[in-house]
Structure 1
């Protein structure tokens, strides 16, 4: 198996082995919002493919963000990147503060002189969403709603505005806008007004950035995991990764859940693809890219969560989650 989760052929030389096992050696990536969940897994999988990865977030070993999860820090993420075979660099950054983002990008420029991959994975708004799930727009506190937009939209815009001048200095840069839901699925209303906006906006951001990057040789995509078994989601259901299926008794659709490793491998595969520009401006998902690139989730399966929700949950097709794994 390759570090991207796909099967590789016989190795003929040490050089071939190194190229296949570390296809991102020499690549510099920034994963904005890498404290936990998809962002952390993306950073680790980029590192497993050989990249130098700057990981940012608001929770450090000395300070906890409003999310309140002290056991998940950017330093831990950086250590995992390095242990996976890359080089992890933790930089505490609040992506709502432009000057902090400018300092971050200036550091990357000074230390590396380049930026090849930007992953906009900032969110950290689930603690605002869950108490307002299915609430009417006018019943949601305005400050709470606007803060959700700050966390899920404004952070991405600030980071792209500051980081893209460095990324486009060299042709071939990749921007990944992380979101929740494909363009097809998000034609449905998503839970509540502000969350719907926060998770639809990155789709349009990728579309707009694809237009702007076209004539400078860059690529922008929107990417969503499926039903993500993040640390926070596992805690919500009172399970661990080892016994996650126990949560299916409470939520049957959790049977289609995927680990964060899956979407991490998706980004690493995209970054290593010399023909990735064919995806420019598109809405992608982890299951789709698994079929395209041949990687699997950590357990060897290839869950297709969005196909399951489209066909079975909302389409009325007779089937089970196992049919989509």
Structure 2
């Protein structure tokens, strides 16, 4: 049997404590990577670190707030001090932003959505990329959303921020290509968990229907007629981080049960 494909590598995951970030961290560790777990929910990350270590991999828990540039820089330095390198950066952390018509949108909530989802992603790349560039290899995976490509009523800041990530990834792929560093985006559809539950509650209220009707309508819009599982997203990230994706950069991979096909 061949060795796991990420054996000997180090992966850093933002927003690692819960949801998709948790599944991604576990999947990368299963592929042989040591993992830098970053985010604000340190208790959840400590429990996760225990699971990673029980599987034979090393784990480092580092507090990180994408609204705080100093904490991002500190996280990158801590990862380098512990492991000497980071080969994979998964920009998973983000916020859902407010749910309201644009004309009623509070400016501070609009700006906070961009501050975390777009500027925070940029700052994480800026902090973790120099080592990859110096070594001439690495993989960056950004978690976007199909909402960056299709409407979601009353969610303009979230949709616009996720669309912005497409441009960030495509341009950064060109900038880093000569250095041997790949950059890709994963765009999930509605992922099972508390966040999609909140979204569906807001959609139901806006449309005057029940949450169950909103869920059925949302899931029924895809050929597979279900929500995305967190592990589906984790599998896509593990693939893009691995040598199997050596010729893939600047791509936007939909993991949406076919909800979006472009």
Point out the more displaced range, 228-237 or 195-204.
228-237
Q: What is aligned with 1:306? A: 260
1:19-34 to 2 correspondence within 5 Å? 19=3, 22-34=4-16
Note the alpha carbon deviations across 1:138-160, whole angstroms, 9 max, x for none: 31111111111112111101111
Match of 1:53 in 2: 35
What corresponds to 2:206 in structure 1? none
* 1:251 maps to 2:233: no
| CA offset digits 1:214-241 (Å, max 9, x no partner) | 1101100111222211344357779xxx
User: Contact 1:29/1:54 (CA < 8 Å) preserved in 2?
Assistant: yes
From the superposition, tell whether residues 148 and 265 of structure 1 become closer, same or farther in structure 2 (CA, over 3 Å).
Answer: same
The separation in 1 between residues aligned to 2:158 and 2:255, in whole angstroms, is: 21
CA RMSD, aligned part only? 2.4
TM-superposed deviation, 1:186: 3.7
1:299 aligns with: none
- Distance change in 2, residues 1:49/1:104 (3 Å): same
How many residues get paired?
Answer: 246
Q: Which has the larger radius of gyration?
A: 1
Deviation string 1:157-202 (CA, Å, 9 cap, x unpaired) is: 1111111102222222001111111xxx744344333112211111
Note the 1:1-325 alignment, pairs <5 A: 17-19=1-3, 22-61=4-43, 73-123=44-94, 125-126=95-96, 128-129=97-98, 132-133=99-100, 135=101, 137-181=102-146, 186-191=148-153, 192-233=155-196, 251-252=215-216, 253-254=218-219, 255-274=225-244, 276-286=245-255, 303-307=257-261
* Cα shift at 1:273: 2.5
- The runs of 5 or more residues in structure 2 that have no matched partner are 202-210, 220-224
3-state SS, counterpart of residue 256 of structure 1: coil
The normalised TM-score by structure 1 is 0.69
SS state at 2:41 partner: coil
Cα distance in 2, alignment partners of residues 77 and 188 from structure 1: 34
- After superposing the two structures, state which structure 1 stretch, 83-92 or 141-150, moved more: 83-92
Distance 2:243 2:74 in 1: 30
Aligned counterparts of 2:52 and 2:69: Cα–Cα separation in 1 = 26
1:294 counterpart residue number: none
Q: Which runs of 5+ in 1 are unaligned?
A: 1-16, 62-72, 239-246, 288-302, 311-325
Q: Where does structure 1 differ by over 4 angstroms across 4 or more consecutive aligned residues?
A: 234-238, 247-250
Q: Give the SS at the match of 1:206.
A: helix
